[in-house]
Amino acid sequence: MSLLSPSIHYVGCFSLVLIGLYVVLVKPNLIKVIIGINLMDTGVNLFLVTVGYIQGGTAPIFSEAARQPEGMVDPVPQALVLTAIVIGVSVLALALALTIRVYGHYGTLDLRKIKGLRW
């Protein structure tokens, strides 16, 4: 536990990325592959926020004028993740639209049956 406790957040986000990678590599269903991509996306976002976190830090928001800037976490990764989440949603929507087209064309979502994608 003492080995893991400083980097437990990193363990969590890399596990998310690896679980997502496993889903992308193994699952034959196209919808599940997209879910795996989304999991990897979440892991990367968590990683970015964790890099900017400091122990016991607070949100970088001045709720009253007397707040001191010391002890606030880094705002830059949070701003980047804010936009990255929206990018993730738009990528997800585009992927789902392409999936609808693939289903209309092949009549299946199984990647093993779709011609040209077998391995």
- Binding to another protein by residue 106, rule CB under 8 A? no
Q: How many CB atoms lie within 10 A of CB 113?
A: 12
Distances (CA, A) of 79 to 30, 39, 45, 52, 75: 31, 20, 11, 11, 6
**Among 6, 9, 39, which residue's Cα sits nearest to residue 22?**
39
Tell me which residues in 35-94 interact with another protein (CB under 8 A): 51-52, 54-55, 57, 59-65, 69, 72-80, 82-83, 85-87, 89-91, 93-94
- Binding to another protein by residue 119, rule CB under 8 A? yes
Q: Which of 21, 48, 109, 114 binds another protein (CB under 8 A)?
A: 21
**Among 101, 100, 92, 104, which residue's Cα sits nearest to residue 34?**
92
Q: Which residues bind another protein (CB under 8 A)?
A: 3, 6-7, 10-11, 14, 18, 21-22, 25-26, 51-52, 54-55, 57, 59-65, 69, 72-80, 82-83, 85-87, 89-91, 93-94, 96-98, 100-101, 103-104, 119
